[in-house]
Structure 1
Amino acid sequence: MSATDHSDPDLPTIKRPFRWHIVVFLAPAVIVYSAIMILPLIETLRLSLFNTVEGQSVFVGLGNFSTLFGDDRWAASFWNALKNNLIFFAIHMVVQNPIGVALAAMLSIPKLRFVSFYRTAIFLPTLLSFVIVGFIWKLILSPLWGVAPWMMDLVGLKALFSPWLGKPGSALIAVSLISVWQYVGIPMMLIYAALLNIPDEVIEAAECDGITGWSQFWKIKLPLILPAIGIISILTFVGNFNAFDLIYTVQGALAGPDGSTDILGTLLYRTFFGFQLQLGDRSMGATIATVMFLIILAGVSFYLFIIQRRMRRYQF
């Protein structure tokens, strides 16, 4: 039996000092995050349970939610915005993320020339202000002074041009594709990093088995980057259901034409702050914000507790 098997009760217990430096370094970040994120979120949730009656704030419980879902005017606006938000998200999932994966796969091809240039050029639009992006694309797609009709005429497709941003049937798709153009660099870079993180031993083993080229990507690399694709999907979900700025820049607060591009973010803006002759309603605005928070919370929880657990087996 060694001397370390039993501790000597007569020896004094060494008490570790409290690490105050951890608190000192974390305190500024915690204070700032609480001030700009946690406290406003709590106040929004509280405000959604109150309403203003004769100038006084009155607790109404779930009355505002009943109005949002039960009143014909409020319900029509909310369900239209939610439907458009789902379409906005679906376009990003179907168009943006697959393109990002394909671009990352091509950039990871060995001996590809000018990789740094391609990577920078594709990622550059994500650094631009949404005001600049929205204004530029409004000019490009304008039927009066835009360059889109002229460029389509060069390839013989001018007959297909249409004022897409001004037609209810195509406005949401056009704005969604503008957003895809701006942010496709983010999934591309995340997938590209995941591909570079695959161990060389795995690739060498696949090549020894005769698996090369695109077959190697589909059978070996794609399953290994599924966790990264899952992260990108949930980031796309959160970003799309928080979207506001690009649609506000391109289509305005009314999200026209005829509300065809109205999403939850623009509906929240008009409700809370008011617009033109419409007065702002803080309680109903907080109610819409609370519903947005619950939708995002449900989506993130579904990913964390169901999808992510099934994809852990692909992680190294």
Structure 2
Amino acid sequence: MVPTQELTVPPARRPRRRAGRVSAGWITTFCLPAIALYGLFLVVPIVTAFYYGLFRWDGTRQGAFVGVGNYREILTRYPLSDEIPAALGHNVLFFVGTMAIQNTVGLGLAVLLHRNPWGKRLFQTLFSLPYLISPLIVGYIWSLLLSPTFGPVNFALRAIGLDAWARPWLGEPDLALPVLILVNAWQWIGGPMLIFGAALAGIPQELEEAAAMDGASSARTFWSIRFPLLMPAVGVITVLTFIGCFNIFDLVYALGGSDGGPGGAMDVLGLLYYRTAFRGGSNAIGESSALAMLIFVLIFGVSLALERALRRREVH
């Protein structure tokens, strides 16, 4: 009798996952904390402000539904009808001045450090340290430095014979806003410098070598090769600077107080919202919520338009 051979069935092989592929469950698990924080600290306040802005308030007691009544009130009632355009104009000037300084000085520092790597890490750290400090602290420190009575800035000017240059820097309406722009640019200059430095490091060296072999000067090489390739970095800096300049509050509050300095020369939308919310009348909650929504729509809309316009320019 011939022994029968046992038939063995090979076990089913489990499908192998591709290397580097992560399941949707893990992605959801890791994203949930960020989504929860985003919703709690951003989405919920925006929805709440929109809801509060639709009602009239008597102190902290919610009143009747008024729809766009609060928006009409802040845009037509004095003094808000005059203060909103003035504060918006100061925000625009603040953004333009900050952009002009940050883009030029930050790009210049990035180019110098890129060409001369000696001490690069040290200078990057030194220029980046100010934006690690709270703008409120920076503002109070500069208010002491610029004090007309005991400030070291005026003392140094008088010591070298420039008495005419010693001014009440934060006490004159014509000087207050330019000083605010300079202090803000000084604090945040490290950010554009690092972004431009990273963008310069990503430019292929072969392009510059080919331009040099064709006889192009350093300036021509920069404007024809480097600068066009830096446009994505310019776009990022522009959008971030716009958002920061139109959200500014703490630095202006430290340098000029809640009224925005002499004659409201430094008054911005953030300070105006603060005064409306904490110094307004019985309907302060409704009016300040409506103003907050207008500021949000302005910042979000202009930031989106800037991002699309700059991206279209990168493509062309």
TM-score interval (norm. to shorter): 0.7 to 0.9
Tell me what 1:305 maps to.
Answer: 308
Deviation per CA, 1:226-281, whole angstroms, max 9, x where unpaired?
A: 11111101111011001101111121112221211110001111111338xx7771
Query: Is the Cα–Cα contact under 8 Å of residues 234 and 303 in structure 1 kept in the other structure?
Result: yes
Deviation per CA, 1:283-313, whole angstroms, max 9, x where unpaired?
A: 1111111111111122112123333122135
CA distance in 1, matches of 2:223, 2:189: 21
SS of residue paired to 1:166: coil
Tell me what 2:285 maps to.
Answer: 282
- Following TM superposition, by how much is the alpha carbon of 1:147 offset from its aligned partner in structure 2, in angstroms? 0.5
Written as runs of structure 1 = structure 2, the 5 A alignment for 1:207-226 is 207-226=212-231
For the aligned residue pairs, the C-alpha RMSD in angstroms reads: 2.2
SS of residue paired to 2:263: coil
CA distance in 2, matches of 1:114, 1:53: 61
Query: Is the Cα–Cα contact under 8 Å of residues 273 and 279 in structure 1 kept in the other structure?
Result: no
SS of residue paired to 2:262: coil
Runs (4+) of structure 1 moved beyond 4 Å? none
- Following TM superposition, by how much is the alpha carbon of 1:57 offset from its aligned partner in structure 2, in angstroms? 2.5
Deviation per CA, 1:179-218, whole angstroms, max 9, x where unpaired?
A: 1110111111111110111112222222222224333222
Tell me what 2:122 maps to.
Answer: 117
Tell me what 2:103 maps to.
Answer: 97
Moved more, 178-187 or 154-163: 154-163
- Correspondent of 1:72 among 70, 74, 78: 78
TM-score (norm 2): 0.87
Q: CA 1:127 to 1:308, structure 2 compared with 1: closer, same or farther past 3 Å?
A: same
Structure 1 portions without partners, runs of 5+: 1-13
Query: Is the Cα–Cα contact under 8 Å of residues 56 and 283 in structure 2 kept in the other structure?
Result: no
Tell me what 1:6 maps to.
Answer: none
Moved more, 172-181 or 214-223: 214-223
Tell me what 2:41 maps to.
Answer: 36
Say if 2:165 is the partner of 1:160.
yes
Query: Is the Cα–Cα contact under 8 Å of residues 227 and 312 in structure 1 kept in the other structure?
Result: no
SS of residue paired to 1:198: coil
SS of residue paired to 2:222: helix
Say if 2:211 is the partner of 1:206.
yes
- Correspondent of 2:240 among 224, 235, 239: 235
Query: Is the Cα–Cα contact under 8 Å of residues 270 and 280 in structure 1 kept in the other structure?
Result: no
Moved more, 120-129 or 139-148: 120-129
CA distance in 2, matches of 1:183, 1:104: 14
- Correspondent of 2:276 among 264, 271, 274: 271
- Correspondent of 2:112 among 106, 109, 115: 106
Equivalent pairs counted in the alignment come to: 296
SS of residue paired to 1:238: helix
Tell me what 2:264 maps to.
Answer: 259
Moved more, 151-160 or 250-259: 151-160
Tell me what 2:28 maps to.
Answer: 23
Q: CA 1:306 to 1:96, structure 2 compared with 1: closer, same or farther past 3 Å?
A: closer
Structure 2 portions without partners, runs of 5+: 1-14
CA distance in 2, matches of 1:142, 1:280: 38
Amino acid at match of 2:102: Q
- Following TM superposition, by how much is the alpha carbon of 1:164 offset from its aligned partner in structure 2, in angstroms? 1.4
Deviation per CA, 1:143-192, whole angstroms, max 9, x where unpaired?
A: 11110112223443231121010112211111121111101111111111
CA distance in 1, matches of 2:57, 2:261: 30
Percent identity over the alignment is: 35
CA distance in 1, matches of 2:41, 2:51: 16
SS of residue paired to 2:170: helix
